[in-house]
Amino acid sequence: MATEAALPLSVVVAARNCAGRIEGTVRPWLALAREVIVVDQMSDDGTDRRAEELGCLVIRNEPPDGNFDLNRKLGMQRASSEWILYIDTDERPTPGLLVELRAFLANPAANGGIEGARIPNLFYFLGKPLRHGIYNPRSSEIRLVRQGCWDYPCEKGYHRGVSVKGEVARFKHPYKHFNVNSLSEWFLKTDQYTEHDARASYRSAPARTWSAFWEASRFFVNHYFFRRGFLDGFHGLVAVFYFMLYHLTLRIKRWELGYKDTRIEGEDFLKSIESPRR
């Protein structure tokens, strides 16, 4: 529940079956933001109820093809504050970020010409923050936007990113992104993301056959050697390998869908059993 000292900020969270994480996700923002909006993707583990107990505004919605970015966009469209920030259930703000964000929002005169802000992140893989390879220390995303000044073309697929019309600031302090917490979770995310993006693009994107493995090899060499993923030890090796596998899976799924277009269901293949979603 927002306090009297709450700033003109709406925090938006897209969630699905994360009852064990939702409190840790929203609690840092409850005393800071005017409202916290949780858009729940029809969870069956009580995520929505727990969010309501914490004082969040909860919207229940099943987006087309399970594209949770559409739920995030829905929450941003429903936000009522001057500023909107989105955060995921596998992300946590650092104390420095909360202080910096409060100072930014509390000084309208200083941010008058700014329409959005990029926030850097710390990338965690299986319990360790990566510093090389997959992780780019200069990376940051537009996470904070002014009401009415943003665009989010997420209908085209996952992780399309938010853009703004005007000037964009860059915060110094990061949030923690616990991107991969277990390999089981990673496989679920990979299957869901690549399935959606492959179906959205396989008719327009070229089918990858043998070249997909060449491109995967280049990805590994670039990130493990040239971008020094080896400096992160065994975590670095595993991270580069599995993200290489992600891109390889996406390319092969595009080829798979194109090939199935030339086959007959029931004679050449059977309809797949639906996989669980994260």
Distance, in Å, from the CA atom of 263 to the CA atom of 61, rounded to the nearest integer, reads 35
Query: Which residues contact residue 64 at a Cβ distance below 8 angstroms, ignoring those fewer than 6 apart?
Result: 70
Q: So what's the pLDDT on residue 278?
A: 65
- Could you confirm whether domain 7-179 is CATH 3.90.550.10? yes
What is the three-class DSSP state of 181?
coil
What is the three-class DSSP state of 171?
coil
For 270, other C-beta atoms within 10 Å of its C-beta total 8
- Where does residue 110 rank: exposed (0-12), middle (13-18), buried (19+ CB within 10 A)? exposed
Query: Which residues contact residue 73 at a Cβ distance below 8 angstroms, ignoring those fewer than 6 apart?
Result: 152, 154
Query: Domain map of the chain by residue range?
Result: 7-179, 182-260
Q: So what's the pLDDT on residue 4?
A: 46
What is the three-class DSSP state of 176?
strand
74-85 confidence digits (pLDDT tens): 999 999 999 999
Cα distance from N-terminal residue to C-terminal residue, the chain? 27
Q: Which helix (H) or strand (E) holds 150?
A: strand 150-151
138-175 confidence digits (pLDDT tens): 989 999 999 999 999 988 766 678 999 899 999 999 99
Residue at token pair 């269901």: 265
DSSP code per residue over 205-274: SPPPSHHHHHHHHHHHHIIIIIT-GGGGHHHHHHHHHHHHHHHHHHHHHHHHHHHHTTS-BTTTB-PPPP
**pLDDT tens per residue, the chain (278 residues)?**
555 457 999 999 999 999 999 999 999 999 999 999 999 999 999 999 999 999 999 999 999 877 889 999 999 999 999 999 999 999 999 999 999 999 999 998 888 899 999 999 999 999 999 999 999 989 899 999 999 999 999 887 666 789 998 999 999 999 999 999 999 999 998 998 898 888 888 888 777 789 999 999 999 999 999 999 999 999 999 999 999 999 999 999 999 999 999 999 999 999 988 777 66
Q: So what's the pLDDT on residue 179?
A: 93
